[in-house]
């Protein structure tokens, strides 16, 4: 029986070249606004233990016992399942074996709880009474709302305006849990008011919602910002997925696949295996595939350079694949993938050729979601369905004996409106 891991894995310790550090803005754009050094500002924004984890070079980080306990209460370890129905539906039975790690089994419906719990716990250790954050489709905001309710803190969530309208069920779930949810751009912050002045119909972007959440934190006492993705510490927390998967997988896969928004479920699922590959301990032939949205294809078509993590440059700059911090992706249904950049470590691994990337349109993804739902009895989240789509492509071309493992980062039971609009619902088989 697999247990909740005792340690998280930090890939920074095993990277073949040093990870480019976070830096203060290189130009004057952010200077002179009274906030000063962005690196120095982090101590007023993030839980202090998260900052320690962000900069540590240790390979293994002990998971605090209260966090392990909360993981268990929430249902970890999550299952690793064989997708035999899906193999049949794809016509690859007997030729290709497909496994998936199912993070939708958590009460949040996605992997996001894996980092919400430790971050809210760390904020509480700092004496915070409120945590603030951004959210796209609402998966991350819901995870923070659940973790805050579990640990007795208040959650404030800036939800991209397009999702605030279209993902009503998640907004109401957050509010039911006691969270306050604002549509971003909002009237609550200067950054939000400015964006609305410039474009009253602004659909919101994750980059802007981050700026708003941080402005909110800096304008009050005993508040901390909690980060949904991109930071190394967040990817490290998510490695519970991959560490459990290594114990559960009956064979070494030829492919490991995950979707990418900021990179946290991809990093969480694949880094323990990539680490073994880097250390020469296994996974020599495994290919690691990132599935992203054609609406925000930064790993496929972005530039590798220093760029802002958020639109307002309140956070430091990170070296990453980016479409530009001001890029506003079209309002696709997989709102969790509407981010302009990707985590620095994932970007570096892509740069080094250890990670491949494929971008898909939402129509291509919808077709894969339909096939998976009808053959496995599980509705994937629109974000996770990008990984399903990549698996379809790989499996159909794969030679005899190919083994594919992918991360089903969340279920889509609260995204059925999207599937109705995309024509996935109805129409028979």
Ligand X SMILES: Cc1ncc(COP(=O)(O)O)c(C=O)c1O
Dihedral angle sign, alpha carbons of residues 388, 393, 396, 400: negative
CB of 233 vs ligand X, minimal distance in Å: 13
CB of 373 vs ligand X, minimal distance in Å: 15
Dihedral angle sign, alpha carbons of residues 144, 149, 153, 155: positive
CB of 212 vs ligand X, minimal distance in Å: 17
Nearer to ligand X, 30 or 414 (CB): 414
CB of 220 vs ligand X, minimal distance in Å: 26
CB of 274 vs ligand X, minimal distance in Å: 16
Strands 402-408 and 96-102: parallel
CA distance 85 to 92: 10
Structural contact between residues 14 and 278, judged by C-beta atoms closer than 8 angstroms: yes
Chain residues binding ligand X by CB under 6 A are: 110, 136-137, 139-140, 229, 259-266, 336-337, 381, 383-384, 409-410
CB of 347 vs ligand X, minimal distance in Å: 12
CA distance 118 to 151: 10
CB of 193 vs ligand X, minimal distance in Å: 25
Cis peptide bond prior to 424, omega within 30° of 0: no
Nearer to ligand X, 212 or 383 (CB): 383
Q: How many CA atoms lie within 13 A of 336 on its CB side?
A: 31
Tell me the residue number closest to ligand X, measured at CB: 336
Contacts of 125 (CB under 8 A, 6+ apart): 47, 48, 49
Nearer to ligand X, 92 or 289 (CB): 289
Q: Is 33 exposed, middle or buried (0-12, 13-18, 19+ CB in 10 A)?
A: exposed
CB of 176 vs ligand X, minimal distance in Å: 19
CB of 209 vs ligand X, minimal distance in Å: 12
Contacts of 231 (CB under 8 A, 6+ apart): 50, 54, 343
- CA 214, distance to chain mean position in Å, is 19
Q: Which helix (H) or strand (E) holds 66?
A: helix 65-74
CA distance 368 to 360: 11
Nearer to ligand X, 77 or 104 (CB): 104
Q: What secondary structure does DSSP assign to 216-261, as a single string?
A: HHHTSSSEEE---SSSHHHHHHTHHHHHHHHHH-SS--SEEEEE-S
């Amino acid at each position: 029986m697999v247990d909740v891991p005792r340690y998280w894995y930090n890939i920074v310790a095993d990277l073949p070249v040093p990870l480019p550090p976070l830096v203060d803005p290189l130009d004057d754009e952010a200077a002179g606004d009274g906030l000063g050094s962005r690196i120095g500002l982090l101590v007023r924004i993030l839980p202090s233990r998260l900052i320690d984890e962000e900069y540590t070079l240790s390979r293994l980080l002990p998971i605090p016992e209260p966090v392990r306990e909360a993981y268990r209460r929430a249902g970890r370890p999550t299952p690793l399942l064989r997708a035999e129905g899906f193999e049949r539906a794809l016509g690859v039975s007997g030729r290709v074996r497909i496994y998936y790690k199912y993070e939708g089994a958590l009460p949040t419906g996605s992997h996001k709880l894996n980092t919400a719990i430790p971050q809210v716990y760390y904020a509480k250790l700092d004496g915070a009474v409120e945590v603030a954050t951004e959210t796209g489709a609402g998966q991350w905001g819901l995870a923070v709302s659940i973790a805050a309710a579990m640990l007795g803190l208040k959650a404030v969530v800036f939800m991209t305006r397009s999702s605030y309208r279209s993902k009503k069920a998640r907004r109401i779930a957050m509010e039911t849990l006691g969270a306050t949810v604002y549509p971003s751009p909002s009237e609550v912050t200067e950054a939000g008011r400015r964006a609305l002045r410039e474009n009253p119909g602004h659909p919101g972007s994750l980059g802007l919602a981050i700026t708003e959440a941080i402005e909110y934190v800096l304008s009050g006492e005993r508040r901390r910002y909690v980060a949904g993705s991109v930071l190394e510490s967040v990817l490290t927390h998510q490695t519970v997925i991959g560490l459990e998967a290594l114990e559960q997988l009956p064979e070494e896969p030829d492919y490991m696949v995950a979707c990418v928004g900021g990179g946290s479920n991809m990093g969480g699922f694949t880094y323990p295996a990539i680490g073994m590959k880097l250390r020469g301990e296994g996974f020599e032939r495994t290919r690691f595939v990132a599935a992203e949205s054609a609406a925000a294809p930064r790993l496929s078509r972005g530039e590798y350079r220093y760029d802002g993590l958020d639109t307002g440059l309140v956070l430091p700059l990170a070296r990453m694949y980016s479409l530009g911090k001001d890029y506003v992706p079209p309002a696709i249904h997989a709102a969790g993938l509407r981010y302009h950049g990707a985590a620095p470590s994932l970007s570096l691994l892509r740069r080094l050729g250890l990670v491949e990337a494929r971008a898909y349109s939402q129509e291509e993804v919808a077709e894969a979601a339909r096939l998976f739902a009808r053959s496995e009895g599980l509705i994937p989240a629109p974000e996770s369905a990008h990984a399903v789509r990549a698996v379809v492509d790989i499996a159909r071309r794969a030679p005899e004996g190919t083994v594919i493992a992918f991360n089903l980062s969340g279920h889509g039971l609260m995204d059925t409106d999207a599937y109705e609009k995309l024509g996935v619902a109805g129409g028979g088989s």
